[in-house]
Amino acid sequence: MNSLLVGLAFVASVLAEGRTSAPDGCLNVAQSGGDYSTIQSAVDSLSTTSSDAQCVFVNPGTYSEQVLVSARSAQLTFYGYTDDTTSYADNQATISYNLSQADGLSNDLTGTLRIKATNFKMYNINVNNGYGEGSQAIALSAYADSGYYGCAFTGFQDTLLSNVGNQYYAGCMIQGATDYIFGQEAAAWFEQCDLRVLARSLGYITANGEDTADGTSIYVLNNCDIAAADGNTVPEGAYYLGRPWGDHAKVVFQNTAMSAVINEDGWHIWNTGDERTDNVLFGEYNNSGVGAAGPRVDFATILDSAYAIADVLGDGYASAGYYDASYL
Ligand SMILES: *[C@@H]1O[C@H](CO)[C@@H](O)[C@H](O)[C@H]1NC(C)=O
Ligand SMILES: *[C@@H]1O[C@H](CO)[C@@H](O)[C@H](O)[C@H]1NC(C)=O
């Protein structure tokens, strides 16, 4: 390595800031030696009626538990242990569980992490549903205005249920194979997220479930990057940007790099005989890479301009409790 590269690597390592102990005032969760040994027991110790800000710090380890964050008056934040808060890559705290609809549960009840608390925020924690192929098995089930920063969400089918409220995902990784960002009412903005796809001959990244003309749901993915997951060999063209769970599905990919895993058609019908494509908005603007090339299907829209974040999260988003402008 030449000295310039060594110098740059040194500067990068100095700039990378970690979070290796509990921020002031946070409950301390650790597999041994903390105040709480499970995340759920820490959450359950917090008041749901007090409006004083709450936070929970999670030390390294894989926490095999399902976590429900119920509605509360306070703004609650989860922080995970990491040597570099600016990305998900060095996260050392993982919540993992394996429930699926094969257990007779609703989508939400399969979620490894279930969020019902308005203005919830989470930094540098990985959330996994380890069930694998065969049934709906949610990692994150988000039913509230909420923000996620430097987090990784992994599963196979239906990894991320973005269902209710305004949601912001920044610098996150979201991985799966089938309909793995989906939900019915949420408006969600994904900024600089890595979308990773698993080895498979056919898959869909999004399945937006909006089913009314004046509905609120839309997913906009801005400055993201689509590629095969580490260690996965994915055939060219195996994946679609989305298919319409609801017949007014709205999904936009913009300023996003798409590797050859994305099919030239771009988008897919729901199912043969039940296409649901007449009223969708499947938009694209200024994407790049082999997967962005097309020609796209006739129900795709090439937009004249990019969506603005306020178009999705509303004019007041910058002062919303879940939104952290300083991240990224
Ligand atoms: C979840 O499933 C994986 C395999 O997919 C297995 O290794 C792990 O032990 C399971 N975890 C639980 C908590 O059942
Ligand atoms: C297009 O996207 C790239 C990122 O891939 C960005 O740098 C550039 O500014 C965008 N151009 C327009 C016109 O938005």
What digits encode the pLDDT tens for the residues 90-130? 999 999 999 999 999 999 999 999 999 999 999 999 999 99
In angstroms, the Cα distances linking 303 to 17, 141, 267 are: 38, 30, 15
Ligand nearest to the CA of 133: 1
Q: What is the pLDDT of residues 148-172, one digit of tens each?
A: 999 999 999 999 999 999 999 999 9
137 CA distance to ligand 1 middle (Å) = 13
- Pocket-forming residues, ligand 2, beta carbon under 6 Å: 255, 286, 288, 306
The two three-digit tokens of residue 152, written as one number: 């990784």
All structural domains of the chain? 27-176 (2.160.20.10), 183-309 (2.160.20.10)
Ligand 2 center–CA 286 separation, angstroms: 6
Q: What is the pLDDT of residues 194-249, one digit of tens each?
A: 999 999 999 999 999 999 999 999 999 999 999 999 999 999 999 999 999 999 99
User: Which atom of ligand 1 is closest in space to residue 97's alpha carbon?
Assistant: 13
pLDDT of residue 58: 98
Instruction: In whole angstroms, give the CA distance from residue 234 to residue 316.
Output: 40
Atom of ligand 2 nearest to the CA of 254: 2
Element (H, E) at 41: helix 39-44
